[in-house]
Structure 1
């Protein structure tokens, strides 16, 4: 019979996987080199590198990586004396995984006498799911020996023993001995791998997952390697160095072993020879030793290789010279912060890191032109709701100041970690003390988890007396919404005139002099903001339809490339049929009609003009008659003391007019909006929820300018300040104001906000009792004041699509 076959099975992975399943075969390639060096020959069958290896959908949430189990078995030689089959965290120990079972079952049937070793082939860098060996053996009765953790030093001895003594009477488990020195290992046997098929597989993964951007791209000829094994730090959540602990208790010091520069020089040269153009350093912590990291960066430059380091580096060891070496070669600098609260970092995570180092690296990386990603987690035992908000606030501020992208995940207790011990339902306080951590609120549940990937990304698994699972979902939902709002298209709101034919009690333009803006200056501003990348535009006022240049400005804006152009109007001018036709065919993409009551009396109370109601309704009908496909129509109502109890009637009216969209606006603190106009907020919110319940299936309803706590459970309707993130208000006198920043300065955070899951997004409460008129009153000479900065004269050259 021929010698040993090393088998890497296909992987069934969640689309929300953690770690790097497309590089999980590195341990198998290394093991093949070790066995070949001793036995003189070996067969390597790698499901990720056989012809036809791809990403294939299995369910809505899961995919197969690699070829089918049947294809793996078919690729094996007919005569093999022993099999070593790789077990990875992606095979979900201790459950029986269909991909792994699909290889083991036919192997055992075809080779009843051959020993089968199921081996972790762990090398460091990826999570360890430290399931009980007995449970894994029970799940795979085809297996003779389960070899845990690092295998290279123990595997040859075990195979010799099995060949001499035959299959054991009963399946058993062994703990692998960590190989030292690492330089004694042969280079991974990439010559046994169809590297071109491997690269095609990576391309298929990128295409199949359909992610718009990869922080650590794997296409373009990428190969994995390790420059170190292990990590000397004792972070509470980490599963590295599995032989240093037992059941989450530290039984030996954590250390890091390193390959020498000479070994890495040979390895990088070999990978380059095999076609690699980019290498992924999967080290648990690549930069803990300054001299080693300097040598690695120098070698990458010597071999002219791009590189990625997916596992987070320590910020306190990232130096300016490292950033200089990364620029142009590294796609994303990955940094681990874990928490944005120093006390949590010290007492809970045991990170031994000053948060100021995270901020320093964020700024230095930004200045060096190196994109950065910073890892955070929420939901740790001993963390409070205020701490969670502290982390999210730190992550957001770092992003806004430096561009560092915050990757926020849920704390997930992998078996065998100190975090898992702290979250055990029984003996939690004792486990915390044994783990060297202060006693914290006892977690209430710890679910049985089959697939850990989605839990990091989407499903919290720890709750305590201070926060529930639902709280954690809301914290992350709010953060994701707030982050997405900042990435979305920017918007300009241009007040084209302060003239108005209504006299609204809550008017945002207050008592300003009634002038139209200067059309040349307005065109200059439209050019300026389009060149800055702004794609959304809202024409407002005053009443914008009173400006005779409105239609020309709309056409000009569309020629510049503004993708969406909205006009907010009281629709009195569109009651003239020809004007309604011209407006809806001007290039506008949406029109919002301001309707502040379901009847003439209520509407007149709020807009100050008796005849306005009939004209507004007729104007809305005319817009509906003339609007071509693609022009969205809707209505706005601003809630006041006189109309908030009539919101139901307004919703009915809006639907009857043919407008399928209603914005419910709470008052903002400027203009005439004061406490004398504003309704009781809680009462108005209750009425709004009642209307949403009744009308949400018939029309789109959005609520604007209301803190989340007034409408729990209605978060999807609460746009809050989303509509004002990166929204610039351009006033008639050419003043430019970031509306989000202006309004945020007029919000007040109260005690209840500290632990609120929506605090990171919600600005707090408006204080309408103190709402001074903004100093934006117009003088005639203001209309000709030049636009700030060097702005070209209006031209569409180079901008017209």
Structure 2
């Protein structure tokens, strides 16, 4: 009788896949070793290790979920770029299966999307069933721990794959040999059936994984192709450079609500048996590591659910890794409370990223909802110790848990941001995703408005008006994108759209905090206007020292800054302005903007020189649609005509590629005339309008500021009317004044990226400075934008700014460091 063939099919995955599909074949390699130990031989056809295995983009039919979880199609502009194939094509796999086989075992992974019919797996099954109509086919999870279980109903999986005779669930190695023997003796069963695998015991009785049956050269080349073609700028757990997977344990003793480990301990999301962890002995692992090293591995990926829960086991493992001179990665992460300083010392230089999970930044959520049994102080401790040891750290958080409030979500985001800015630990914030069979899925299906942690209790019940029927979770074909892109749980306290806004704001805040991206240089405090709201206060009449200004520009350019705004005072009054622009472009600033009242540009030759100096944009400050309103705000009667003349000259002389726009600062005297300023900007040929709300320093006091809500309403009216004709941005306004207009509210999102260089050489992080004049209020606690929005400006008794100038300030040495932001509390 012919032997058994084990087939690992190609994988269709999203670019945002969960787990590690490029190592999903470990179960098949282990099963091959077990079958060979009983039958004497086995064939292994691994789609990830056949010649030509690569990452290949797929067609639009496999596009990722769009807003609300709806699968995108061609009508959404989907290109298929979000879906990839890992491994060779199904046709190549089919051709590699021996003609003479007595039974075939096909691997079923979470990436084959149970219970739906996966096209990659189907494309392997269909021709092989036609070729071998009498051969028993087994579909086996080959689950070993370390990757999510999508716990679909066995009946549904069998229905999706009519080619299959037996579905073998969960850990299958020990059950495969007797099952295959019975199938060979009796032939194909009359009706397909499902069987739950028996957990191998003891683990040491298992043979080493049969890596000798794998073309490791092709396998390593496949990993190199994935790294090259996936397009990620950086890998926390790199797979190139000869990497192989292994397990040092199976299972996890903890009961975290979202986890799908230990599938036999759960039934319909309810714990029915104690969760345990079984570990391979040190002797077994020593043999395994020696075998992997001998086969060419230079790095191993420990796919354990929780590798460091047992101190003696982890200590021995770290010692063996060092002795065998193997780098290692732990993608599933470790318990922070079990990471000790000696472990960090052993990781340095061998581990790319230490991954730990906090899940929430609010202790009561960790305790009551996640059931993680973790003190968040341990996350902070390890973050600090990892930073001191020189080990990069990644911390996982999730938002959108049943029973969590909007204020809790902000607490998590605030904790994550604090940890990042204090220790450098990178926060990975994901949406809580209810994988089938988990307690989280069970909780997510309870009626909206009830506390899912206290089902049936009066304390856990919301008012009847807030309750609704139990949610039916959608059948999700691919869970990968949901963790990053599409929330799937909503409650009485938050909607799916709220969760998107929370995550979007956090991602923007995190990105903006990675260092200055723009420098705003005040080149002079001289000005020919006397604006009522001027941010530079008393403005002692000095130009900046041009040599110091050049030094500052070089300093920030070396930090990678490519964007520059030249401001004042009135920058066109500085005779060195054009030289500064030319110097900045020469040393690599890609975009240089000048903000001006344009009165000097009314001289035609100056307008020509300015627009041809290397500037990429010019913003003209116009504070009213007519001479009277403009004069009220700038304090000079003739300014309006000169400014408009200057704007026309700039438009006339600007070469292609120089963008021109208008700035307006809203005051009590001009905010109702914003519509007229937008019309004026268009008539001047400047299709860009920046609407600036008052910044609270210098002359920007409550006597000048308009009613904020009224000014915001007028801004929304103008945006609605003119957004198709011009670019419109709103600056210095809390998000809550303009809900639904977040794309236009750039001020708070961008100021963290901006450093201001004042005439006296002071360097100020603009976000940090402005936050000193803003306060959080009770309404901020649950706002999806609270992590980035500075809150409400206090305009009463606005102080004169810090950067008043003295002559000796002009020649102060340039500081070596740059000002860094700190994280303030979210709510009072």
Q: TM-score, normalised by structure 1?
A: 0.96
Give the drift of 1:335: 0.9
Give the corresponding residue for 2:593: 566
Structure 2: runs of 5+ lacking an equivalent: 61-79, 819-828
1:79-228 map, 5 Å: 79-228=100-249
Partner of 1:274: 295
Partner of 1:296: 317
Q: 1:639 touches 1:678 (CA, 8 Å); kept in 2?
A: yes
Aligned ranges for residues 297-376 of structure 1 at < 5 Å? 297-376=318-397
User: What displacement does 1:334 show?
Assistant: 0.8
Helix, strand or coil at the partner of 1:280: strand
| Partner Cα distance (2:749, 2:247) in 1 | 43
* Shift, 1:722, TM fit: 2.1
Which residue of the other structure, out of 786, 807, 811, is the alignment partner of 1:784?
Answer: 811
Query: Within 5 A, what are the aligned runs for 1:579-658?
Result: 579-658=606-685
Provide the secondary structure at the position in 2 that maps to 1:754.
Answer: helix
Following superposition, the deviation at residue 743 of structure 1 comes to 0.8
Match of 1:749 among 751, 776, 781: 776
Q: Distance in 1 between matches of 2:280 and 2:143?
A: 16
Is the CA contact 2:449–2:492 (under 8 Å) kept in the aligned structure 1?
no
Change (3 A) 1:212 1:789: closer
1:734 CA drift (Å): 2.2
Distance 1:438 1:236 in 2: 21
Distance 1:261 1:439 in 2: 47
Q: Distance in 2 between matches of 1:436 and 1:327?
A: 49
Q: Indicate the residue corresponding to 1:799 in structure 2.
A: none
Pairing 1:253-268 to 2, within 5 Å after superposition: 253-268=274-289
Q: In the alignment, which residue of structure 2 is the partner of 1:740?
A: 767
Structure 1 631/273 Cα, relative in aligned 2: closer, same or farther at 3 Å?
Answer: farther
Distance 1:430 1:659 in 2: 54
Which residue of structure 2 lines up, in the alignment, with residue 479 of structure 1? 506
Of 549, 552, 555, which residue of structure 2 is paired with 1:525?
Answer: 552
> Does the CA contact (< 8 Å) of 2:11 and 2:112 recur in 1?
yes
1:493-513 deviation line (CA, Å, top 9, x unaligned): 221111100111110012221
Secondary structure of the equivalent of 1:2?
coil
Q: CA deviation at 1:146?
A: 0.6
1:342 shift after superposition: 0.3
Tell me what 2:483 maps to. Answer: 456
Per-residue CA deviations over 1:54-108 (Å, capped at 9, x if unaligned) read 2222232321111122211111110100011000111111111111111122222
Q: Which residue of 1 aligns with 2:739?
A: 712
Q: Which residue is 2:67 aligned to?
A: none
User: Which sits farther off after the overlay, 113-122 or 547-556?
Assistant: 547-556
Q: Distance in 2 between the 1:119 and 1:464 partners?
A: 37
For 1:367-425, what per-residue CA distance to the aligned partner results, in whole angstroms no more than 9, with x for missing partners? 22211111000010110000000001111111111111111111111111111111224
Aligned-residue Cα RMSD (Å) equals 2.0
User: Which of 433, 439, 444 is equivalent to 1:423?
Assistant: 444
Partner residue, 1:413:
434
Contact preservation (8 Å) 2:539, 2:569: no
CA drift of 1:551 comes to 1.7
SS of residue paired to 1:552: helix
Once residues 456 and 56 of structure 2 are traced to their aligned partners in structure 1, the CA distance between those partners, rounded to angstroms, is 42
**Change in CA separation of 1:247 and 1:790 when aligned onto 2, cut-off 3 Å:** closer
Tell me the SS of whatever aligns to 1:480. helix
Query: Counterparts of 2:816 and 2:56 in 1: how far apart (Å)?
Result: 53
Contact between 1:333 and 1:373, CA under 8 Å: does it hold in 2? Answer: yes
Taking the aligned partners of 1:397 and 1:557, their CA distance within structure 2 comes to 34
Aligned residue in 1 for 2:726: 699
Q: Which residue of 1 aligns with 2:748?
A: 721
Structure 2 CA distance, aligned partners of 1:400 and 1:303?
Answer: 36
CA distance in 1, matches of 2:416, 2:216: 39
Q: 1:504, 1:606 within 8 Å by CA — same for their partners in 2?
A: yes
Whether the aligned pair in 1 keeps the contact of 2:403 and 2:451 (CA below 8 Å) is: no
What residue in structure 2 maps to residue 389 of structure 1?
410
1:261–1:295 CA contact under 8 A, matched in 2: yes
Query: Deviation digits for residues 139-173 of structure 1, max 9, x if unmatched?
Result: 11111111100011111111111112222221111
Residues 475, 758 of structure 1: 8 Å contact kept: yes
Q: Within 5 Å, give how 1:495-514 maps onto structure 2.
A: 495-514=522-541
Judge conservation of contact 1:312–1:375 (CA < 8 Å) in 2.
Answer: no
Deviation at 1:489, TM superposition (A): 4.6
Distance 1:561 1:37, change over 3 A: same
Q: Distance in 2 between matches of 1:172 and 1:438?
A: 45
Contact persistence 1:707–1:720 (CA under 8 A): no
Alpha-carbon distance in 2 for matches of 1:36, 1:313: 34
The alpha carbon displacement at 1:4 in A equals: 0.3
Number of residues of Structure 1 aligned to a counterpart in Structure 2: 791
Q: Summarize the Cα distance change of 1:302–1:665 in structure 2 as closer, same or farther, 3 Å threshold.
A: same
Q: Distance in 1 between matches of 2:596 and 2:393?
A: 44
| Matched residue SS, 2:689 | strand
**More deviation, 690-699/340-349:** 690-699
| Counterpart for residue 490 of structure 1 | 517
Length-normalised TM-score, structure 2 = 0.92
Pair 432,518 (structure 1): closer, same or farther in 2 beyond 3 Å: closer
Native 8 Å contact 2:447 2:471 kept in 1: no
Taking the aligned partners of 1:539 and 1:298, their CA distance within structure 2 comes to 57
Deviation at 1:301, TM superposition (A): 1.6
User: 1:53 aligns to what?
Assistant: 53
Tell me which residue corresponds to 1:794. none
Determine the C-alpha separation between the residues in 1 that align with 2:612 and 2:236.
Answer: 43
SS in 2 for 1:770: coil
The corresponding residue for 1:515 is 542
After TM superposition, give the deviation of residue 323 of structure 1 in Å: 1.4
Q: Is the 8 A contact 1:444 1:463 kept in 2?
A: no
Please report how far the alpha carbon of residue 475 of structure 1 lies from its aligned counterpart in structure 2 after TM superposition.
0.8
SS of the counterpart of 2:550? helix
Change (3 A) 1:438 1:657: same
Pick aligned residue for 2:584 from 536, 557, 581:
557
Mind listing any 5+ residue stretches in structure 1 that lack a counterpart? Answer: 792-801
Q: 2:72 — aligned with what?
A: none
1:10 is aligned to 2:10: yes
Which residue is equivalent to 1:31?
31
Paired with 1:77 and 1:71, the residues of 2 have a C-alpha distance of 12
Instruction: Please report how far the alpha carbon of residue 426 of structure 1 lies from its aligned counterpart in structure 2 after TM superposition.
Output: 6.2
Aligned to 2:822: none
CA drift of 1:727 comes to 2.2
Return closer, same or farther for 1:747/1:430 CA change in 2, 3 Å cut-off. Answer: closer
> Is 2:89 the counterpart of 1:62?
no
The alpha-carbon distance between structure 1 residues 703 and 430, as it changes in their structure 2 partners (threshold 3 A), is: closer
CA-CA distance at 1:429 after TM superposition = 6.4
Inter-partner Cα distance in structure 2 for 1:625 and 1:288: 71
1:118-151 Cα deviation digits (max 9, x unpaired): 0000000100001111111111111111110001
Q: C-alpha displacement at 1:315, in angstroms?
A: 0.7
CA contact 1:498–1:512 (8 Å) conserved in 2: yes
Structure 1 stretch displaced more, 135-144 or 777-786: 777-786
Change (3 A) 1:56 1:661: same
Aligned-pair distance for 1:434?
7.6
Q: How does 1:538-549 map to 2 (within 5 A)?
A: 538-549=565-576
